[in-house]
Amino acid sequence: MINKFRTSFLAAPYAVWVLICTILPLLYILGYALTNDAGSFTISNLTAIAEPVHLKSLWLSIKVAFVTTIICLIIAYPVALILHNLKITNKGFIVFLFILPMWMNFMLRILAWQIILSNNGILNSILSAIGLPTIHILYTKAAVTLGMVYDFLPYMILPIYNALSKINDQIVEAAADLGANWLTTFTKITIPLSKDGIISGIIMVFVPALSSFVVSNLLGGGKVLLIGNVIEQEFTLARNWNLGSGLSIILMIFVLVSMSIMNKVDDSENGGMLV
Amino acid sequence: MTKIKKGTSYFYLGLVFLFLYAPILVLIVLSFNDSMSRTVWGGFTFKWYLNLTSNDNIMNALGTTIRITLASSILATVLGTSAAIGIHYMKKRHAAIMLGATNIPLLNADIVTGISLMLLFTRFTPLGEFSVVLAHIAFSVPYVIFNVLPRLQSLSEACFEAAMDLGATPTYAFFKVVWPEIFPGVLSGFLMALTMSLDDFTITYFTKGAGVNTLSTMLYTQLRKGIQPELYALSTILFLLAFVLLLVINFKGKGRDNRKEAVAK
């Protein structure tokens, strides 16, 4: 017999770890958020989000994250579907080719986008070579969104692909046998059954996009201020750890709220399907 | 699928491939560019590859990256595997609390995790390589736990008990019965921890302190001041290494599914 009581103590080091490296840091950030630099209690670091400059960057973050998620979904779903329907033996290899770019340092790939998008860069060289007008996209919101779509796309493709792989092909065939056309089968069978993948894809793209500051720094050239950039600046340049912590707590709440909304959508649909 | 639809499918896949690989192509081309400029082609050269090993800056950052990545992913795997086994045998209520806490680093934005750990570390330890390793363990342990737990849950307890009945010691029974079953989960957890740690910027940035640089943080500073072309050479080498590794894993077959699970999680 396994001595369950004694075996469960294998988690003891981890329990200590959780207290020190998960719970305690959160208490620290909360502590900084709720005090001023003299150490007395205040909620002004939290209410600071209502200042126009902070509100503007939060709103911009939400917009950019939202657009990024939608674009990723639009690009990724067909990719996942095509990959799933590929009738070749070494499908795993093709799927790998979509993952491989993630193994190249993220910073270098963003640098490459700087080079591609710059005013006398590759994109514009190609555009003028084929006689089209050049575009000035670097250091704009469009460039930041493009960088994020690029960075997060695999996180949308993989969960949807996995969800599609779990669908029983017989259900799709049965729908066809019963006279459903391609579109009906797709909207009534394929999409609902891949909903889990879509939702985890949305979460995996939206949350990091909401809090990112690196892409906006490098492709936005300091002109696109997301809430992540504001927080980073409070910690590194302004050295106002209290305000930085306060805004981090607000960001955390936003992430948690958006995730629980997504999970709710997920739950209700599952419940509906079981009935 | 009809012929035309097949054609458009391949065309679409090709476009997305182009999108994903365009920046990598640019870096590879630049690694052979004799000109210091990013946009002017100055002829073909191997000099950045030859200069690479004598560039102390880059070699130091590479060494730091490898040390931090290996140390944190190995420690996270040990801690996480033992935690997963412990949690599996806990009372339901206690297990639920532990899993809730394990979810926190996954749900939190990187920037918040990084900052909160920095606030803690600055109190107790000087920031440096050690604090970065701790921080990397913090964000990678959950991936190990969530890769090992499902394996434990699908494990049949009867086998373990049968081994004990036949006279095996618990340790012997563990390594002969449990370990082979959970090993794929441990491996994919380890590989995920490795991948995440290798590519992390945000959490390293906040917990590293002055003077310590991983490849990511070094690049971040260089991207503003102008990048050393040797880095293009290094990135090309790393990319080719990853590609070869992928081919080996893919055609060996066995490890394939684990890797896929690891990256897809």
DSSP A150-201: HHHHHHHHHHHHHHHHHS-HHHHHHHHHTT--HHHHIIIIIHHHTHHHHHHH
Residue of A nearest to B76 (CA): A14
User: Per residue in A184-233, pLDDT tens?
Assistant: 888 888 888 899 899 999 999 999 999 999 999 999 988 899 999 999 99
Angle at B89 between CA B83 and CA B93, to 5 degrees: 95
Q: What is the pLDDT of residue B262?
A: 53
pTM for this predicted structure? 0.88
Q: What is the pLDDT of residue B72?
A: 97
Of A75, A139, A100, A135, give the one whose Cα is nearest residue B25.
A100
- Residue numbers of A between 19 and 58 with CB closer than 8 Å to B: 20-26, 28-29, 32
Torsion of CA B42, B45, B47, B52, to 10 degrees: 100
Q: Do the Cβ atoms of B89 and A214 come within 8 Å?
A: no
**A-chain residues near B109 (CB < 8 A):** 207-208, 210-211, 228, 251-252, 255
- DSSP category for residue A133: P
d(CA B27, CA A106): 12
Whole domain around residue B177: which residue ranges?
A: 76-226
Distances (CA, A) of A189 to A173, A174, A265: 10, 10, 18
Query: Please, are residues A149 and A71 in contact by the beta-carbon 8 Å criterion?
Result: yes
The verdict on B118 and B195 lying in the same domain is: yes
**What string of pLDDT tens digits covers the 265 residues of chain B?**
445 577 888 899 999 999 999 999 999 998 998 887 777 787 888 888 998 889 898 999 999 999 999 999 999 999 999 999 999 989 999 999 999 999 999 888 999 999 999 999 999 888 999 999 999 999 999 999 999 999 998 887 788 888 888 888 888 888 888 899 899 999 999 999 998 999 899 999 999 988 899 999 999 988 877 788 899 999 899 889 888 887 887 776 544 455 455 554 4
CB nearest A108 (choices: B27, B160, B202): B27
The verdict on B248 and B172 lying in the same domain is: no
Q: What is the pLDDT of residue A268?
A: 56
The verdict on B139 and B214 lying in the same domain is: yes
Interface test with B, best of A2, A90, A232 (most B CBs within 10 A): A2
DSSP conformation letters of B213-254: --HHHHHHHHHHH---THHHHHHHHHHHHHHHHHHHHHHH-T
Q: What is the pLDDT of residue A28?
A: 95
The verdict on B128 and B147 lying in the same domain is: yes
In a domain, B89, yes or no: yes
In a domain, B50, yes or no: no
In a domain, B46, yes or no: no
Torsion sign (Cα): A137, A138, A140, A144: positive
DSSP conformation letters of B52-98: HTT-HHHHHHHHHHHHHHHHHHHHHHHHHHHHHHHHHTS-HHHHHHH
Mean pLDDT, chain A, whole residue set = 88
The verdict on B88 and B135 lying in the same domain is: yes
ipTM: 0.86
Residue A267 banded pLDDT, cuts 50, 70, 90: low
* Domains, in order of start, for chain A: 1-34 (no CATH), 46-271 (1.10.3720.10)
d(CA A66, CA A139): 19
In a domain, B67, yes or no: no
The verdict on B244 and B134 lying in the same domain is: no
**CATH number of the domain where residue B111 is located:** 1.10.3720.10
In a domain, B105, yes or no: yes
Where b means 16+ CB within 10 Å and e means fewer, A116-137 reads bbbeebbbbeeeeeeeeeeeeb
User: Per residue in B68-78, pLDDT tens?
Assistant: 999 999 999 99
Question: What is the number of domains present in chain B?
Answer: 2
Residue A15 touches partner B, C-beta closer than 8 Å: yes
